[in-house]
Structure 1
Amino acid sequence: MADTARQGTGHDRRADLGRPFRWLWGSAAASNAGDGITRTLLPLLVVAHHPEPAAVAGLTTVNMLPWLLFALPAGVLVDRVDRRRIVLGSNLVRAAALLGAMPVLAAHRPLPLLYALAFVLGIAETLADTAAPAMLPRLVDERQLERANGRLSAAQILLNEMVGPPVAGLLAGLAAAAALATGGMLYALAALLLVGLSPLARARHRSASARAHGGVLRDIRQGLRFVLGHHTLRLTLAASALYGLVFSATFSMLVLLSARALGLSGTGYGLLLAAGSLGAVAGSWLAPRAADRLSTVRLARWSLVASGAAYVALGLGRQPVLAALALAANGVFMMGWNIPVMSLRQRLTPEDLQGRVMSVSRLCSWGSMPIGATLGGLLAEALSVPAVFEVCGTVLAVGALLLLAPLREDPSPHADPPANSDLLDKG
């Protein structure tokens, strides 16, 4: 019955997403292009003058640290302030940071300045990436969420992972100042495009006085209590954390698998990454269409299981073509998980908790990645590099079945309320 109902919404899902979404998409496209350039450029600047492994690793740590420090407070801010202004302001901060650092980094590359720049960009990214998805339920119809998330995901993959890095490499080869200026102008463009989006009014069901007197810690507890008390959100977030562990464990070993097991050069490794990105782009197109025919939970569950099988195939295969096909398939299944689950969380979360639920989601999935990378290295040392993919893929497939089996096939926004939801207004 649920599947039939979802099939009937296919025409509605193909309707135009509207002008507000187009403004948001344009801004997201520009900022993702800026992300692709800066994430590639900063390590290149570090390596050029500070080639020590600890210095390079430190840059990644500093850039990701804001997600651990500020993810939950960022969710509170997103639920208190106009989300459009947060994304706009975050892009302006990133533009100012890159353009302001340009005169110094064009001639000298002091490591403290590079670290400081990475940290500031990380804080701005934490705020923007929490606020932007929380805006979406206000901009598009609930039935359009899969399509909207799919289009945003496609822009992210194309511009952040496929276009941005080679452009950054080309610009850095010409002049570091040119790369910094390009990244800064892209962030400024992202901010400018959001000016065309009308301000988003605050949620009506929480008064201004309630917002003023509620402390940050109290609001964080409310968000955590809602997520932990909601059966569907709790289990999908646990699955996201598992996926973060598996993804980081395997991705950290992919370069070694490429060189040792597949015998590929650096160019071959780049082509492997491109195959995975192309699969993800295809998945961002296929997932919303699959959601027209399958329940959200069923699509997400079996996509996660299939992603685990793709990791196992990657570990077992010894032919580069088969490895590329496995990575492409994994990209499709990754979007088959990410897009439906993101849309499900947006549907199940009340308007005034969107930011906090999004921040908990990012903390679970991204916060597990450093742990996964460490476990991947330890597992490779104990067994072998291909075994990392075989073990992690099996764990992901079995874990997805166990974690998501208890979920209903088509949870509604009013189904499965938190057992302790009465504490949300009393805590």
Structure 2
Amino acid sequence: MSLGRSFSVLWSANAASNLADGLAFVSIPLLATSLTDDPRWVAGLSTLYALVRLLVALPIGVWVDRVDRRTILVVANVLRGVAVLALAICVQAGVGGLILLYVAYAIVGTLESAADNAASSLVPSVVPKERLDSANGRISAAQLVADEFAGPPLGGFLFALAAAAPIFAMGGLWAVAGLVALALPVRSTTVMPASTVRPSMWSEAAAGAAWLARHRVVGGLALIGALASVGYMLPFSIFVIFVGERLGLDGVGYGVILALSSIGGLVGSFTAALIRSAIGYRWTIVASLLTGAASLVALAATDDAIIAAILLAVYILHAVVWGICSTSLRQRLVPDSFRGRVNAAARVLGLLGLALGSLLGGLLAVVDIAVPVRAGGIVFVACAAIAFVLFRPGGLHDCRNGGASS
């Protein structure tokens, strides 16, 4: 069933942007290795990307609430496209080198944060509340197809043709995403009287964080999201080693098992709304988190590659269902004027969780390569317990306007 023209436009812009992200996932590291054989410089790109997104999250959240979100989405994507096309021209000409790649990647990370927050904040304004689960499911499905199935192999193929080819494609796709977003409706913004002194950016960011901390349900979801990020990175920070040592797979096998796991995510994208409609947010979230816990504990105990692929698909299914439900609830419950800042504050918690999980994963792997995987399962049990209490019967009054109980 159609979700309307505006959602179709937003979905199309997201899909083009996601395909560019999938190209970047493969082509940027490949480009880095063509410029240096020092693994520290190659790994440093991921570190830079994470740090940039963490540093800009809160200021971007303020701007998403201050400015027309369509404008932010258009400008962020077009500027990403221009920056990457400039990088592609330099690569083609053989100038700039590794430092230019770092600068371009920092720009891409900053603008991606802006585009992602604006797009998520736009969804409730183009889709009825009762259809948010379906809308987020379709967005998630497009992201999985573009990021996991289409983007990486296409990026590798284009890089084999010419180092600059996937970079040109990325820039073009991001520019197209920005131009498509021009068809979205313009949001009316409140014009402040000239005599009114606008609060500082950090004051407004703090107000968004304070709103998140005060709201029992949305704040609880952010806490679960931060813990789930720890649980995710515990196994996945060392998963390539786990696949080699425990499952006996080489690099090709590692890629295959990750690609197969995405099938679980697609199933979750198309079933999340149906499951939530049948059993409600409380039990959907609790069941999905427990499913994630069980899949990781079982994964830590197996050395069979086929069983591991199935368990990983089940894990990705849980992650997608949990992500759709938490995003839809936040979109339902957060006032429009706070949506960008609350998204940003929740994102900061999630990024900190990813950093902590990555650190702990490396430390625990020294004991045994299966320990971080098992520990991730334990973290998800804790997440499920928090969700069970958060949505306890009679405790859903914070969701009365969002329909969280249904």
Provide TM-score, normalisation by structure 2: 0.94
1:335 — aligned with what?
A: 320
1:12 — aligned with what?
A: none
- Given that residues 66 and 119 in structure 1 are in contact (C-alpha distance below 8 angstroms), is that contact kept between their aligned partners in structure 2? yes
Number of equivalences: 400
Deviation at 1:172, TM superposition (A): 0.8
1:51 — aligned with what?
A: 37
1:179 — aligned with what?
A: 166
Q: Are 2:372 and 1:385 equivalent residues in the alignment?
A: no
Which segment drifts farther, 316-325 or 361-370? 361-370
Q: 1:406 to 1:187 in 2, by over 3 A?
A: closer
Q: Are 2:293 and 1:323 equivalent residues in the alignment?
A: no
Q: 1:60 to 1:247 in 2, by over 3 A?
A: same
Deviation at 1:352, TM superposition (A): 0.2
1:116 — aligned with what?
A: 103
Provide TM-score, normalisation by structure 1: 0.90
Q: Are 2:103 and 1:83 equivalent residues in the alignment?
A: no
What pairs up with 1:29-44 in 2 under 5 angstroms?
A: 29-44=15-30
- Given that residues 238 and 403 in structure 1 are in contact (C-alpha distance below 8 angstroms), is that contact kept between their aligned partners in structure 2? no
2:11 — aligned with what?
A: 25
Which segment drifts farther, 329-338 or 101-110? 101-110
Residue by residue over 1:284-313, the C-alpha shift from the partner in whole angstroms, topping out at 9 and shown as x without a partner, is: 111111111121122112211210111111
Q: Are 2:156 and 1:156 equivalent residues in the alignment?
A: no
Match of 2:52 among 66, 69, 94: 66
Structure 2: how far apart are the matches of 1:257 and 1:210?
A: 61
Structure 2: how far apart are the matches of 1:170 and 1:210?
A: 58
Q: Are 2:120 and 1:136 equivalent residues in the alignment?
A: no
- 2:263 aligned counterpart, secondary structure: helix
Unmatched runs of 5 consecutive residues or more in structure 1: 1-14, 418-427
- 1:405 aligned counterpart, secondary structure: helix
1:425 — aligned with what?
A: none
- Given that residues 348 and 412 in structure 1 are in contact (C-alpha distance below 8 angstroms), is that contact kept between their aligned partners in structure 2? no
Q: 1:21 to 1:210 in 2, by over 3 A?
A: farther
Residue by residue over 1:369-405, the C-alpha shift from the partner in whole angstroms, topping out at 9 and shown as x without a partner, is: 1221111010000x21112111221222134214542
2:334 — aligned with what?
A: 349
- Given that residues 217 and 399 in structure 2 are in contact (C-alpha distance below 8 angstroms), is that contact kept between their aligned partners in structure 1? no
* Percent of pairs with identical residues: 34
- Given that residues 235 and 404 in structure 1 are in contact (C-alpha distance below 8 angstroms), is that contact kept between their aligned partners in structure 2? no
1:394 — aligned with what?
A: 378
2:238 — aligned with what?
A: 253
1:421 — aligned with what?
A: none
Which segment drifts farther, 112-121 or 97-106? 97-106
Deviation at 1:189, TM superposition (A): 1.0
2:211 — aligned with what?
A: 226
- Given that residues 349 and 413 in structure 1 are in contact (C-alpha distance below 8 angstroms), is that contact kept between their aligned partners in structure 2? no
Deviation at 1:413, TM superposition (A): 6.0
Q: 1:222 to 1:257 in 2, by over 3 A?
A: same
Structure 1: how far apart are the matches of 2:196 and 2:108?
A: 28
Please provide the CA RMSD for this pair: 1.9
1:288 — aligned with what?
A: 273
Structure 1: how far apart are the matches of 2:351 and 2:21?
A: 17
Unmatched runs of 5 consecutive residues or more in structure 2: none
1:157 is aligned with what amino acid? L
